[in-house]
Amino acid sequence: MDKNVSYEERKTDSSYYVHLICDGKFSGNVKLVPMPRNVSMDLPSEYRDNLYLTNLRVDPEQRGKGFGTSMLEKAIEFAREKQKHIITVVHSTGEGRMSNEELTVFCQTRGFSKLDIKIQHCLRLDTSSICFCANSLL
């Protein structure tokens, strides 16, 4: 890891935010929030009362250095404290983003399981979106 790296964390009763700062510059973030209604309505009831991982992002020049994994580990620890699972929906849109295949590998190698659920009520997602769950209670 680089020497000029820090993580700024903010916790509330139900949410968790991490900002990655590299050389004094904002370089990534992750947010863990209560499950949004437009996602939860498509989930089976056992997944609805959990936390939703959104906006896991690392600047392209900082990727491959373990920063995304570090932020994800911090989010999983927060979920453990709250005794909740983490649900996330991944989709690749836009230049400079990881492909759905890369996102799938990233999630699965970090303990997330793919759920066979189609998220239909979230307008920002398309048909290639993939839903994952992390069992943070282990």
- For residue 36, give its domain range: 5-134
pLDDT tens profile 77-94: 898 888 888 888 776 566
- The structure's pTM equals 0.77
pLDDT for 137 equals 59
Total tally of structural domains belonging to the chain: 1
- The percent of residues above 70 in pLDDT, for the chain, comes to 80
pLDDT for 111 equals 81
pLDDT over threshold 80, residue 103: no
pLDDT tens profile 28-74: 999 999 988 877 777 888 888 889 888 888 999 998 999 998 998 89
* Average pLDDT score over the chain: 81
pLDDT for 91 equals 65
List of residues 6+ apart from 133 with CB closer than 8 A:
47, 50, 85, 86, 87, 112, 113, 115
| Angle value at C-alpha 135, between 18 and 59, nearest 5 degrees | 30
Identify residue 89 by its one-letter amino acid code.
V
Assign residue 38 the CATH number of its domain: 3.40.630.30
pLDDT over threshold 60, residue 113: yes
